[in-house]
Amino acid sequence: MKPGSPLSLVFALLALPLAASAQQSPAAPRAITIDDAFQIREVQDPQLSPDAQWVAYTVRTSTLKDDKSEERIWMVPTAGGEPIPMTAEHASSSQPRWSPDGKYLAFLSARDEGKTQLWLLNRLGGEAQRLTDTAQDVEDVAWSPDSRRLVVVLRDPSPEELDAAKDRAKDQKDDQDSDDKAAKDKEKKPKTQKPWVIDRLQFKQDEIGYLDRRRTHLYILDLATKSLTQITSGDYDDSQPAWSPDGKQLAFTSNRSKPDPDRNYNTDIWVVAADNVDKGAQLTQITTNPGSDNSPAWSPDGRWIAYITQIEPKLFEYATKHVAVSPSTGGEAKVLTLAFDRFSSDPHFSPDGKSVYFLADDDGTLDLCRVAVTGGEVTRPIGGRFIIYAYSVAKTGEIAAQISMQDRPDEIYVTSALGGKLNRITHTNDALLSQLKLVQPEYVHFKSKDGTTVAGYLYKPLDYTPGKKYPAILRPHGGPVWAYYAEFTHLAQLFAANGYVVLFPNPRGSSGYGQKFCQAIFADWGNKDYQDDMAMVDYAIDQGIADPDKLGVGGWSYGGISTDFIIAQTTRFKAAISGAGEALNISNYGHDQYQKDYETELGRPWENEVVWKKLSPFYKVANITTPSLFMGGSIDWNVPILGGEQMYQALKSLGRTTELVVYPDEYHEFKTPSHIKDRLERYVAWYGHYVKGDPTPATPPSEAPVKAGE
């Protein structure tokens, strides 16, 4: 009987007299489903108020009915209590930022299908006030210490954006001058899109497309006059602005290398006067490291700037990122975390200025760490078998953090500066979680082929019975410089609910285990990481958990690339799903966004052809007999669908079992709920048919299938 059916309502009415004297027992927890992915609300971006009495944060919801997602700003007392919605539904809003005097929240929102603009909201309530009306989107914002100004980041507007702004202004005037707006709208003709004219070395980026010479710069918005003053300029991108404590200067991140910033990974920290009138002609360069320096944060006395530094540019993403400090007037830098050897991010000075907080990627977790400005021991005010995605430190020392647990999606927690008890102050997903029966993953260690110790997360099936063997799914992660963490993962829970052992390995190439572990696959993809991934499969089999005759594999991005490497080297798997993977790497050169990475790691393809071929799964495609599903987004410039198309075409030519699914208007990270649901349904159906041997089709039926040629 389904809840809500007419018969169940009759029974409910008959039972009303009994309800007064007997408390209704709660329903038994159930297995997680595909649709539950759209019931989970994403809690993000905690921001402590200056008095540390409130935390502002955002909640993102996705709906299949409207096939879209929206974000809303909320506020909750740090002492606990009911959260208060600060922005309206159906008016997606993000990036709440408290004014230093605690009176206002600034935030970004694209309302009425317009550009993303800066808005201001009185914390006591009332309607939000729009502060900007720019032709282009506002990309970032930060308050001045006196609460009278804000710095905003804007990309130079395109001709189309300027034309659209003129049209909007004209329409507004027409609305005032004429009652016959409908007739005027009919007279408008669609504008022909102009060709892209490109002259940059780096000419593509996912979710942007073709890159031109429009750059991001800093502007000062004066609240009293509503005037915008540009304070940086040039053929460079400026980002991550941070005000000095006295409000006279701004630190920011920019690659201003000569002659061409597109040719290297160098970004430096710069300082510009907040009252600058020459658009940044006079700047102070704070760092000179040839690698990436970013994320500036001022000390409370204004004497130092903390930042994240990467000191081995030849290893780019494979090199450990460290916490460093430099004098705010420029001078010798001091790297604080060299001995720690863990990826660091998001630095903030402690209120007393004696230490720096930062997030550290360590052993399958993300911890909030702290190190003295003089260097030395790294401590962990917040750490454990979980992941901290973001945090905020009040001047009084309290900390608010966005934390995901293995059995709970992200919520907001608060603690004292000394790292006392963690108190959860949001309960956004409690109602849903009370209905679900979840699997607690195990963090396991095992030996790879060459004796290297590797770790990963193992999820047993929801209905696990000791001594019984189950079908297993190996899920290589993306990156490759990334890792699986101790966090809630709907996909792993979904597979476990469908009776699978789920294997989330962190092979060599993963972050969180030191630089040598990470760089072990530099220019050597599909070798040591393949051995480590397979070692976790063997571990699960040796433990008597996984059935060696019922194995599936699949991943996204580098996980898709790993999948292609795996099925080209072994026939142990009954099914594979490769999402957003590469195949013939040379065809991606000049087609995706990674030209700089390719040349740094592999060399130019015409100069190092042997390595390029070695790292292309396509050349081993004849070895593949595994039924393989390839998928991706049609406008993904991170890892284009081209790789999936090539693998599909080759396997189809060879007469192998394969299928290709292309999702319209999707980037590397999918955004459309119905596409996300469709992808999950295909995962379950493909593995169910080929791994479990279910009689149901490997391809689920869709409401309105689109076939080639239609």
Q: How far apart are CA 275 and CA 279, in angstroms?
A: 10
Please check whether residue 688 lies inside any domain of the structure.
no
- In the prediction, which pLDDT does 19 show? 36
Q: What is the pLDDT of residues 161-201, one digit of tens each?
A: 888 888 777 766 666 555 555 555 555 566 778 898 999 99
- In the prediction, which pLDDT does 176 show? 58
Please check whether residue 249 lies inside any domain of the structure.
no
- In the prediction, which pLDDT does 20 show? 37
Please check whether residue 416 lies inside any domain of the structure.
no
- In the prediction, which pLDDT does 178 show? 59
In the three-class reduction of DSSP (H, G, I as helix; E, B as strand; rest coil), residue 161 is classed as helix
Ramachandran angles phi, psi of 133, nearest 5°: -145, 65
Please check whether residue 473 lies inside any domain of the structure.
yes
Please check whether residue 638 lies inside any domain of the structure.
yes
Please check whether residue 512 lies inside any domain of the structure.
yes
End-to-end CA gap in the chain: 41
- In the prediction, which pLDDT does 2 show? 35
Tell me what the mean pLDDT of segment 283-310 comes to.
97
Burial pattern 195-228, b for ≥16 Cβ within 10 A else e, equals eeeeeeeebbebeeeebeebbbbbbbbebeeeeb
Contact between 676 and 633 under an 8 Å Cβ cutoff? The reply is no
Please check whether residue 93 lies inside any domain of the structure.
no
Q: How far apart are CA 124 and CA 146, in angstroms?
A: 20
Contact between 632 and 555 under an 8 Å Cβ cutoff? The reply is no
Q: What percent of the chain has pLDDT over 90?
A: 85
Range of the domain at 532: 438-667
Domain count, the chain: 1
Inform me whether the pLDDT recorded for 7 exceeds 70.
no
Query: In CATH, what number is assigned to the domain containing residue 489?
Result: 3.40.50.1820
Q: What is the pLDDT of residues 418-443, one digit of tens each?
A: 667 899 999 999 999 999 999 999 99
Q: At what angle do helices 558-569 and 528-542 cross, to 10 degrees?
A: 70
- In the prediction, which pLDDT does 14 show? 30
Helix (H) or strand (E) holding 143, with range, is strand 138-143
Residue tagged 């991943």 (tokens) = 555
Tell me the sheet residues that pair with 338: none
Inform me whether the pLDDT recorded for 675 exceeds 80.
yes
Long-range contacts of residues 591-594, Cβ cutoff 8 Å, at least 24 apart: 591/204, 591/640, 591/642, 592/204, 592/637, 592/638, 592/639, 592/640, 593/202, 593/204, 593/205, 593/206, 593/637, 593/638
Please check whether residue 531 lies inside any domain of the structure.
yes
Cis peptide bond prior to 480, omega within 30° of 0 = yes
Inform me whether the pLDDT recorded for 708 exceeds 60.
no
Q: Who wins on pLDDT, 269 or 8?
A: 269
- In the prediction, which pLDDT does 177 show? 59
Instruction: Please name which of 699, 623, 624, 626 lies closest in space to residue 660, comparing C-alpha atoms.
Output: 699
| DSSP output for 284-323 | EE----SSBEEEEEE-TTSSEEEEEE---GGGGGGSPPEE
Q: How far apart are CA 554 and CA 271, in angstroms?
A: 46
pLDDT band at 705 (very low <50, low <70, confident <90, very high): very low
- In the prediction, which pLDDT does 167 show? 75
Tell me the sheet residues that pair with 357: 348, 370
The overall average pLDDT reported for the chain is 92
Inform me whether the pLDDT recorded for 4 exceeds 90.
no
| Pairing assessment for the beta strands 365-372 and 343-349 based on DSSP bridges | unpaired
| DSSP output for 521-535 | TTT-TTTHHHHHHHH
